[in-house]
Structure 1
Amino acid sequence: MGPSSYHPKMMMKMILCAYTQSVFSGRKIEALTKDSIRMMWLTQSYQPSYRTINRFRVNPLVNALLRECFVQFRSQLVTEQLIDEEAIFIDGTKIEANANKYTFVWRKSIDNFDEKLTEKSNVLYDELVKNTIIPEIKRESANELSVTELGQIEEHLAQVVEKFTEKIEQEEDGTTRKSIRSKRKVPKKIRKLFHDFKERKLAYQKHRQILGQRNSYSRTDPDATFMRMKDDHMKNGQLKAGYNLQIATNSQYILGYDLFSNPTDTRTLRPFLTTLKERFFELPAYIVADAGYGGEENYQAVLEDHERTPLITYAMYYKEQKKKFKQNPFLPANWPYQELEDTFLCPNERKMNFRNYSIRTDKYGFKRYLKRYECEDCSNCPLRSQCTKAKSDKNREIQKNMNWEYFKATIQQLLSEEETGKLYRQRKIDVEPAFGHLKACLGFTRFSVRGKQQTHNEIGFALMAVNLRKYKLSTLENKKDSSNNLKNRRPKILFTIFSLLFYGSWDLCPKLFNYLFFDTFLFLCICNCCNTCNKYTYERD
C-alpha cells in the first residue's frame, strides 16, 4: 500500500513559506523542514522529500489551488480596503527559462533548409525518371515532394537495388559481378539520400508543429521562446529562452497573472484579459497599460468586447504632443480635413481626393480597413521635395485608418482629463514595483522547472510569495511605534518559550505565530479554522 499522502494544505503552506524566504530548490525546501522552526510548525514535524515537493508543485491540479489563493487574497484585500476596484494596471516582463542557451531552433533556418531539400529532391527525382531508373509517380504538387511521395521513391529505389543484388548472387563470373556491383552503387546511394530526405522532412514538420506562430523554441524546453532579456551582460543582444509574464496589479498587489510564449506584449493583452475575467475576477472600469499594448486590435477588444475604458497610450502618443510635431506642415496628421468633400489639404493647399478603399490583413488574421487619398496634382509644386519622395511622374498618396484615428482621439481625450490622466500616471508606481519585488527582493529571475504548465505553477507560488511579503509590510506599517511593539513582544516571547517547554506542543495561537514568524493571510487562505477554540487544525492523512 505504501505510506499515506501529505495533505495539499500542508504542502502549499510549506512551499509558500519557502518561496517567501527566496528558497526555490526542492532539496533546500526539504532541508528547511529539518532546520527551520517555522517550517516544522507549518508541517507539524512532517518532512516530505524533495521528490515529493517537486512532484507537488508541478502537478496540474495545483493550478486550481493557486487560482483560489489569488481569488481569496483579493477578497481579503477588498475587505480590508487595501485596494480599490476602480482599475487594474497591466504590464509584462521576461523571465529566463530553465533551458540551455544553445538549443535553439529558428523558423527561418527550418524554412531555408526545407527549401534547399525540396529543390535537391526535385532535381534527383527528375533525373531518375529521365534515366528510367524508377517509374513516374503521382504527385500532389508539382513544386514539392511530400513525405509519402519520398517514401514511394525510396521503395522504388529499394526494388531496383534488390534486383541488382539478385543478379550478383546468380552470377558466377567475378568480372560480371563487379560490373553489376558498380551499377548498383548509384541507386543504392540515391536511396539513402531519399531516406535522409524523408527523415528530414518529418523533422521539419515536427519543428513547425512545435513552433506554431512563434519564430523560435528551445529543444530543452519546447514551450520557451528565445527573447531579448534586459540583463544582457555581454551587451551583444544575445537571445535567451524565456517566458513572457503578464500581471495585473492594484496598490502593488498582484491580482492575476498568466504566462505566454510570445515575446511582445501587444499580442498578449486580449488573451490575458480573457484569463482574468474567466479565472480571477470581473474586470474593473479602467484597464491601464503602457504604450507596448497600444494598438487597434487591443483598443477594439477593451472597448467593444469587454466594454471597459482603456487608459493605454500608443507608440506615437508622446511624440504627437510635442510642439515640433504639431508645427510640422508636411505630416498628414496636421493637414486640415474637409468632411463634406472627404478631402485633405496639403501644405500647398491642393486637395487630396479620396481614391479607393483597401483592406490590410496581418499574419494573425486581423483586418484593417484603409482609405487611400491622392493629390490632385503634384506637378510644378515648389514643396514637392519636402513633401514626398515619390517619383516625379506620380502624385503624393496617403492612407488613413479611420477606426484607428477614432481610437487615438479617444485615448487623447481620456488622458487629457484630470481624473483619468492621474490614474494613468499611477501605473508607474503600481505595476513596476511588483517586478522589482519579484526579481530584486525575492530573487526570482529564472525558472527551475520546464514546460509551460510547470512554469505556470512555479510563477504562481512566486507571485503569491510577493503578495504575502507585501501584505506583511503593510500590516507592520499599521502597528504602533517600535517602542510599544518591543514592550508587547516580551511577554509573548516568554509565553511561547513556556508553551514549548511545558506543553511540548507546536499548537500555538495563530496570531502569536504570525507576530513572531509568518503572515496571517497564509493561514486564512490554506488552513481550516476551528471556531470553538480559535485555533487552526490540520487534516491528517
Structure 2
Amino acid sequence: MPKKKFRPYTPDQSFLLPPSPREWLEKDHLAYFLLDLVPQLDLSEIFASYERELRGYPPHDPRMMVCLLLYGYCTGVSSARKIHRKTYEDVAFRVLAGGHHPDHTSISDFRNRHKVAFHRLFLQVVELCREVGMGGLGRVAIDGTKRQANASKHKAMSFQRMKEEEERLSKIIEEILEEAEAVDRAEDEAERRGELPQMPEELRHPETRREKIREALEALKAEAKASKEHEKKTKQAKKQAKEKRYRPASPEDSEEAKETDPDQAKLPFHKVQAYADGTPKPKSQRNFTDPESRIMKTGNGYIQGYNCQIVVSEESQIILAQAVTNQPPDPEHLPALLERVFESCGEYPEELLGDAGYFSEDNVTYCEERLVEPYLSTARQKHNTPRPKVRGRPPANQTPKQAMARKLATRAGARVYARRKAIVEPVFGLLKEVLGFRRFLQRGLEKVRNEFTLECLAHNLRKLHRRIVSEACAPAHLQAA
C-alpha cells in the first residue's frame, strides 16, 4: 500500500439521493442555454406536423430532438449515429435528452422531415441576435467555399463516355449470351451425367451495369431538355427586367421584383449543357452516387461537391444569410443572397464587400438600386502587390468595372475592402477547422442545404451564447452601460 494519502476514489459508490441534471455541468454551459432557449422559439410548425398522426407509438418530444441536433452541430457532431451514442456517453447530451436515447434513424428522419422548419429557426435566431445588438447591417461581406459532397468524382461519367460504355457493355453482353448458350448445351450434357453447373455471377453483372448507365443517360437527356427550356424562360425574363428597371429598396418593391422575375429570388442551379434540340453535349456529366452534385474547381484541384455561400455581418460575425447550390461560379449568387438578407433582417445592408468572384456590372447595378454600396474587387490581386495609385478626377466615360477598380484603389476604398477577409473568412475557418465540417454527410441538394442551415444556425447560437455569458459575467457598471 502507498504511504501517500489520496482522495477517496470509489467509482461504484451509489448516490443516496440522485443529483439534479442542473448540477452536472457549469451553470453557463451551452446545454443549459439551449434548454432555456429552444422552448422560447416558435416550433409550432414542427408540432403541427404531428397532429395528423393519431396512431402508433408516441414520437419523441420535438424540443428534445431540436436541442440534440443544435447542440450536436454546435460541438461538431452532425452524424445521427454519433448523436445517438452521445446520449449514453456525453454528460451534456444526457442532460439534453432527459434520459431518452432516440436511435439514429429517428434523429435522421427528424432532421430530414423538418427542413423548412430549420430554415425558419435560422431566421428566428438571426432576429434574436439582432435584438441583443449583434448582426448589424452597416457592413456585411459575402463569400463562398466549395465543399466535398458525399460522392466521389470518379463516380461521375460524361454523356459521351456513357454512350461508349453502353456500346462496350452491349458487345460484352452479346458475348455472354453466346457463352450462355454454350453453357446451356453443357448443362444439357451434364444433366445426363447428373451434374448441373451454375452460371458464373460475373456473367450477369455487365447487363446490370448497362441498365444503370442507360438510366443515367435518360436522366441526363431529360435534365438537358429541361435546362434548355429553363434557359429560354430566363432569357425572356431578363429581357423584361431590362425594359422595366427595379425601383429603390422597399418591402413592396421586393415583392414586385419577385413577381416580375420569379427566378431572381431563387438560387442558381447548374444546368446540363445541351444543344438546341435538348441533346446533352458530349462533356455533360452526371454522378451516379449524388446526381445533383457537380465537379468543382478548388485551390487543391477538382472535387465532386457543392458551393456554400454566406453573408456575414461585421458586428460579431453573425451569419445573416446562407445558401448551398451546385453552381460553381459565384456572381449569380449575390442577388439571391442579398434578398435573403432582406428576408432575415427586413432591410438591405449599407455596404457589401465581396471578392473578384462576385463582380459583374449587373451585380453592381443590383446593389446600387437597393441603396447598397458595393465594394467588389474587379480582379484577383497577388499578395504583397501594391494597389495602383489614383490621381485626378475620374474619367467621364469610364465603365462600371473601371469605376469600381478606381474606388477600391483609393485609400478609403482600400481600407473598407481590407475588412472583407477579416469579416467572412474566419467564419468558414471556424466551420471547417474548429467544428470539422469539411464534407457533407447527406446526398441531394435539399438535404445538404438543410445540413448547411444547421451548421450556420449552430454558429450563430455559439456567438449568441458567448455574448450572453460575457454580459452576465461583466461588472455591474458595464452591464448598466
Contact 2:293 2:305 survives alignment (8 Å): yes
Q: C-alpha separation between the residues in 2 aligned to 1:465 and 1:312?
A: 28
Q: Choose which of 250, 263, 271 in structure 2 pairs with 1:212.
A: 271
Aligned residue for 1:102, secondary structure, equals helix
1:81-92 correspondence runs (5 A)? 81-92=133-144
The residue aligned with 1:246 is: 309
Q: 1:249 Cα shift?
A: 0.6
Partner of 1:90: helix, strand, or coil?
strand
1:11 — aligned with what? 65
- Aligned counterpart, 2:339: 274
Deviations 1:119-145 (A, max 9, x none): xxxxxxxxxxxxxxxxxxxxxxxxxxx
Q: Give 1:222 shift.
A: 1.1
Q: 1:40 aligns with which of 86, 94, 109?
A: 94
Residue in structure 1 matched with residue 463 of structure 2 by the alignment: 470
The structure with the largest alpha-carbon Rg is 1
TM-score scaled to structure 1, two decimals? 0.52
Question: Does 1:457 pair with 2:450?
Answer: yes
1:307-338: CA deviation from partner (whole Å, max 9, x where unpaired): 42211111178889437xx99xxxxxxxx98x
| Per-residue deviation, 1:8 | 2.6
Residue identity matched to 1:312: L
Deviation at 1:443, TM superposition (A): 0.5
Contact 1:88 1:249 in 2 (8 A): yes
In the alignment, which of 376, 381, 388 is matched to residue 322 of structure 1? 388
The one of 107, 111, 114 equivalent to 1:53 is 107
Whether contact under 8 Å (2:432, 2:438) holds in the other structure is yes
Between the two proteins, the alignment pairs up a number of residues equal to 319
Distance in 2 (alpha carbons) for counterparts of 1:25 and 1:66:
17
Alpha-carbon distance, 1:415 to partner: 6.0
| Cα separation, partners in 2 of 1:201 and 1:473, compared to 1, 3 Å | closer
Write 1 or 2 for the structure with the bigger share of strand.
1
> Does 1:75 find its partner at 2:127?
yes
Runs of 4+ in structure 1 deviating by more than 6 angstroms, as ranges, are: 198-201, 316-320
Q: 1:63 aligns with which of 88, 102, 115?
A: 115
The residue number in structure 2 matching 1:310 is 374
In 1, Cα distance between equivalents of 2:380 and 2:416:
20
Taking structure 1 as reference, are residues 442 and 3 closer, same or farther at Cα in structure 2, changes over 3 Å only? same
Q: CA deviation at 1:203?
A: 5.9
Asked whether the equivalents of residues 351 and 373 of structure 2 are also in contact (C-alpha less than 8 Å), the reply is yes
Q: Is the contact between residue 92 and residue 265 of structure 1 (CA under 8 Å) also seen in structure 2? A: yes
Structure 1's 206 and 471: CA in aligned 2 closer, same or farther, altered over 3 A?
A: same
Residue 354 of structure 2 is matched in structure 1 by: 289
The aligned counterpart of 2:366 is 301
Matches within 5 A, 1:95-494: 95-106=147-158, 202=218, 205-206=221-222, 208=224, 212-213=271-272, 215-230=284-299, 232=300, 237=301, 239-250=302-313, 251-278=316-343, 281-304=346-369, 306-315=370-379, 321-322=387-388, 405-410=399-404, 412-413=406-407, 416=410, 418=412, 421-478=414-471, 480=473
Q: Cα offset for 1:87?
A: 2.1
In structure 1, stretches of 5+ residues that fail to align are 118-197, 328-335, 340-401, 485-541
2:151 and 2:346 map into 1 onto residues whose CA distance is: 33
Distance 1:427 1:15, change over 3 A: same
* Long gaps (5+) in structure 2: 1-54, 168-213, 228-269, 274-283, 476-481
Structure 2 counterpart of 1:396: none
CA pair 303-93 structure 1, distance change in 2 beyond 3 A: same
RMSD of equivalent CA atoms: 3.7
Instruction: Check the 8 A contact 1:217/1:241 in 2, yes or no.
Output: no
Counterpart CA distance in 2 for 1:201 and 1:53 is 35
8 Å Cα contact 1:217-1:226 kept in structure 2: no
- SS of the residue corresponding to residue 419 of structure 2 reads helix
Cα distance in 2, alignment partners of residues 45 and 218 from structure 1: 42
| Identity in percent | 28
Decide whether aligned partners of structure 1 residues 17 and 296 sit closer, same or farther in structure 2, where only a CA change above 3 A counts.
same
2:120 is aligned with what amino acid? Answer: E
Distance 1:299 1:7, change over 3 A: same
SS of 2:418 mapped into structure 1:
helix
Structure 2 counterpart SS, 1:288: strand
C-alpha distance in 2, partners of 1:18/1:450? 19
Corresponding residue for residue 368 of structure 1: none
8 Å CA contact retained: 1:225, 1:241 = yes
1:502 is matched with none
Deviation at 1:72, TM superposition (A): 2.5
Q: TM-score, length-normalised on structure 2?
A: 0.58
Tell me: CA distance 1:202–1:224, structure 2 relative to 1, closer, same or farther (3 Å): closer
Shift of 1:220: 0.7
- Going from structure 1 to structure 2, the CA distance change for 1:425 and 1:241 (only over 3 Å counts) comes to same
